[in-house]
Amino acid sequence: MASTEQQEHAAALLQPEVEEAYTTDGSLGIDGKPALKHLTGGWRACRPILGTEFCYCLAYYGITFNLVTYLTTELRQSNVAAANNVSTWQATCFLTPLVGAVVADSYWGRYRTMVVSCCIGVAGMLMAALSALLPLLINDTSSRASAQEIILFLGLYMISFGVGGLRPCLMSFGADQFDDGDPPERMSKSSFFNWYIFTMNCASVISTTGMVWVQDHYGWALGLGIPAMVLAVGLFCLVAASRAYRFQTTHGSPLTRVCQVVVAAVCKFNVKPPADVTLLYELPEDACSKMGVQRIEHTADLRFFDKAAVVTASDEEAAGAAPRNPWRLCIVTQVEELKILVRMLPLWACVAFYYTATGQANSTFVEQGMAMDTRVGPFHIPPASLATFQIITTIVLIPLYDRAFVPAARRLTGREKGISDLLRIGGGLAMAVLAMAAAALVETMRIHAAHAGMEPASMLWQAPQYVLVGVGELLATVGQLDFFYSQAPPAMKTVCTAFAFLSIAAGEYLSSLVVAAVSWVTARGGRPGWIPDDLDEGHLDRFFWMMAGLGCVTLAVFAGCAMRYKSRKAC
């Protein structure tokens, strides 16, 4: 007797307009056949994906937020060594997504990459938990400390590779569940990015409170073991719903295709592209369909790269003896893929500066709070805890944005997303400027009170700057994720999603460079500088004003690039 799924599939084939039963983006079901709309994709598939995202973030942040404490208290590392180890590990966690994205887009596909990465992540977290159990197993203090460090760092870098596969793939795989050819599903895709960040922030709140509390009160073995169990639950959620997913086929290495265009264009440096673009090399539509490649129409800008698709006499001679050499002759679609990436680079650089500014929330904002009155009623609150204002702001505003602002803006603008992704990112950049200005005003007030011998200002004066950073995350972070995914060439979705995470890493590195440069320049000649150990002797307010000024310049550059940017959908 036929299964229920087979009967539904047969019924769909008998419908007069059978194409309506299937997705229009070429996605497949788990059986390798065209995906049925009523059985796959949509929110039915995204809910377990968001569940996996929640478990992954809860596990990852459960280790990240308190790792420096484990290194200093259990492994007896110095503050400098512990801080450097944590920074290096976190930077690695933001760089490995590019590796995971290339593997996913080129070879394994997103689903298999996520499953394998999740298994590696669980194994790494178990290794970290094992390092905390060693004191119960080994009595020799010297050999125990060495073994703890080896096992811990082996586990941490296994986690970084697990994160590298999960970070870019979870989000792009979730977005793949919505068919761009179906208007209602296309509108839901924008909501998915909002709820993705919402889920991430909810997990972050639980990690900063519950997970840290378990580690401080019940020991590190349990505190590091729970993240491994949570990530294992996330793996189960991901695999259990596999029949509901839509899968995209892989199209070979995207970075290789980009390099081929560059090499071919350079080799034909003296060749002039023809005025008639139809003379450029392109595969017929049916050939592209058989290869699973979606053709991209030619665009008139960045004409230098068109040289890669110019058919020369040597190319015609070679074509008679062997297949075309892709390092000498590229198709127009391949050239357009590179053009899309080049157009996005200036916008990417501007977004990276956004994270340079907001990165102050974890450094100079905390130092500013340490110089203020940390009492809130009868309690002394750690300055770093004010980051809760940022997280809660994002958590509260995302549902309001998605359920109230977007429908209202959609009626006014006629856009499916309410406002464009670039306008949303620009709003986030503006919030970063306002956050820096708010921090500068608070610092001016704090220094005035300190120099006048008055009581220190309350740390709660910092709340507005954290709230502004939270609003900026709602706008810029979610906006750039949606932008990079929607504008990416079909075969580069995961790689372009990884660019969004690389912008965070670039912003963090640039933040460290800016702080170091300011300290070096302003502290010459025996002066205390703008950011001394005793902030009462410095001018942290000038640093914040400088960051606000740089933010204004970045916003102006971004606005100029955004106005000139040509959307891929308009190509």
- pLDDT tens readout for residues 235-285: 999 999 999 998 888 767 777 888 889 999 998 988 888 888 888 888 776
Where exactly are the structural domains of the chain? 25-252, 254-330, 337-566
Exposed, middle or buried: residue 452 (CB in 10 Å: 0-12, 13-18, 19+)?
A: exposed
**249 contacts: CB under 8 Å, gap ≥ 6:** 26, 28, 109, 292
Supply the pLDDT for residue 81: 67
Question: Please, which pLDDT band fits residue 232 given cuts at 50, 70 and 90?
Answer: very high
Is 337-566 in the same CATH topology as 25-252?
Answer: yes
pLDDT for 27-86, tens place per residue?
888 888 888 888 888 888 999 999 999 999 999 988 887 787 788 778 877 655 675 677
Rg of the Cα trace of the chain? 26
Q: Please state the pTM of the whole predicted model.
A: 0.76
Using CA atoms, how far apart are residues 121 and 298, in angstroms rounded to an integer? 42
Rounded to 5°, angle at Cα 488 from 256 and 203: 110
Nearest C-alpha neighbor of 492 from the set 202, 297, 293, 353? 293
Question: Please, which pLDDT band fits residue 471 given cuts at 50, 70 and 90?
Answer: very high
Question: Please, which pLDDT band fits residue 317 given cuts at 50, 70 and 90?
Answer: low
> Residue 316 above 70 pLDDT?
no
Supply the pLDDT for residue 11: 45
Q: Are 491 and 258 in contact (CB under 8 A)?
A: no
> Residue 374 above 60 pLDDT?
yes
Supply the pLDDT for residue 570: 40
In terms of CATH architecture, what is 25-252? Up-down Bundle (1.20)
Share of the chain above pLDDT 70, in %: 89
Locate tokens 């990416």: which residue? 488
Supply the pLDDT for residue 431: 94
How many CB atoms neighbour CB 447 within 10 A? Answer: 19
Using CA atoms, how far apart are residues 84 and 71, in angstroms rounded to an integer? 11
> Residue 141 above 90 pLDDT?
no
Q: Measure CA of the first residue to CA of the last residue in the chain; give whole Å.
A: 50
**211 contacts: CB under 8 Å, gap ≥ 6:** 58, 61, 62, 65, 66, 223, 226, 227
Supply the pLDDT for residue 426: 93
Helix axes 332-358, 421-451, angle to 10 degrees: 20
**543 contacts: CB under 8 Å, gap ≥ 6:** 364, 518, 530, 531
Supply the pLDDT for residue 568: 65
> Residue 13 above 60 pLDDT?
no
Exposed, middle or buried: residue 453 (CB in 10 Å: 0-12, 13-18, 19+)?
A: exposed
pLDDT for 554-563, tens place per residue?
999 999 999 9
Please tell me which of 119-128, 353-362, 410-419 the model is most confident about, judged by mean pLDDT: 119-128
Instruction: Give just the sign of the alpha carbon dihedral 511, 512, 517, 522.
Output: positive
Please tell me which of 139-148, 316-325, 404-413 the model is most confident about, judged by mean pLDDT: 404-413
Tokens of 87: 């920074």
Q: Is 297 helix (H, G, I), strand (E, B) or coil?
A: coil
Using CA atoms, how far apart are residues 519 and 514, in angstroms rounded to an integer? 8
Nearest C-alpha neighbor of 353 from the set 557, 92, 495, 197? 557
Supply the pLDDT for residue 47: 92
Nearest C-alpha neighbor of 132 from the set 225, 61, 210, 59? 225
The DSSP code for 198 is: H
Mean pLDDT of 80-108: 78
Supply the pLDDT for residue 142: 60
- Residue 463 identity: A
**235 contacts: CB under 8 Å, gap ≥ 6:** 52, 115, 118, 119, 122
**Alpha helix positions (H), 176-284:** 183-206, 212-218, 220-240, 254-267
Three-state SS across 116-170? Answer: HHHHHHHHHHHHHHHHHHHHHHCCCHHHHHHHHHHHHHHHHHHHHHHHHHHHHHH
Mean pLDDT of 559-569: 83
Tokens of 311: 């058919």
Mean pLDDT of 133-144: 68
Supply the pLDDT for residue 292: 56
Query: 88 or 408, which is more confident?
Result: 408
13-27, 326-340, 419-433, 547-561: the lowest-pLDDT one: 13-27
Supply the pLDDT for residue 179: 84
The DSSP code for 208 is: I
Supply the pLDDT for residue 83: 58
Question: Please, which pLDDT band fits residue 489 given cuts at 50, 70 and 90?
Answer: confident
> Residue 340 above 80 pLDDT?
yes
**Alpha helix positions (H), 4-78:** 4-13, 42-64, 67-73
Nearest C-alpha neighbor of 568 from the set 486, 492, 493? 486
Supply the pLDDT for residue 17: 46
Using CA atoms, how far apart are residues 499 and 102, in angstroms rounded to an integer? 11
Mean pLDDT of 278-293: 69
Supply the pLDDT for residue 14: 42
> Residue 430 above 60 pLDDT?
yes
pLDDT for 166-225, tens place per residue?
888 888 888 888 887 788 888 788 788 888 888 988 898 888 778 878 887 888 889 889
Question: Please, which pLDDT band fits residue 436 given cuts at 50, 70 and 90?
Answer: very high
Locate tokens 């970070």: which residue? 167
| 422: Cα separation from own chain's centroid | 16
Mean pLDDT of the chain, nearest integer:
82
Class (C level, CATH) for 337-566? mainly alpha
